[in-house]
Amino acid sequence: MSLLSDLINLNLSETTDKIIAEYIWIGGSGLDLRSKARTLPGPVSDPSELPKWNYDGSSTGRAPGEDSEVILYPQAIFKDPFRRGSNILVICDAYTPA
């Protein structure tokens, strides 16, 4: 196939062992989805292999302004149908520290 055809059809070659993990969680209102992505050194097969992550919950209504850290706990992994390859979608629980 031509390069243009490959790009249009998202047939991107795998030129690295690194993957993109898109962490996904339910927003503070309970009605929206939030996400952010990180690069990992290689493929992952179990959520326990993934690092916890955090975000500032004050901007989403999830946590008060003075102590607004929210921790993301990976719970499930799915193949990323948009980025394809070994990239993954990570469904997370979101908790404010006690």
Q: Is residue 14 part of a domain?
A: no
Question: Does residue 46 lie in a domain region?
Answer: no
Give the residue among 12, 14, 16 at the shortest CA–CA distance from 41: 16
The answer to whether position 82 is within a domain reads: yes
| In a domain? residue 40 | no
Residue 17 is classified by DSSP as: S
Would residue 2 count as lying in a domain? no
For all residues of the chain together, what is the average pLDDT?
86
What pLDDT band is residue 12 in, cutting at 50, 70 and 90? Answer: low
Residue 40 pLDDT:
97
Res. 5: pLDDT tops 80: no
Residue 1 has pLDDT above 60, yes or no: no
Residue 11's SS3 state is coil
- Determine the structural domain holding residue 67 and report its residue range: 23-35+52-98
The domain that contains 74 carries what CATH number?
3.10.20.70
Structural domains of the chain, count: 1
Specify if 4 maps to a domain: no
pLDDT at 63: 65
Q: Label each residue of 20-74 as H, E or C.
A: EEEEEEECCCCCCEEEEEEEECCCCCCHHHCCCEEEEHHHCCCCCCCCCEEEEEE
* Residue 29, in any domain of the structure: yes
Average pLDDT over residues 75-80: 98
Q: Would the pTM count as exceeding 0.85?
A: no
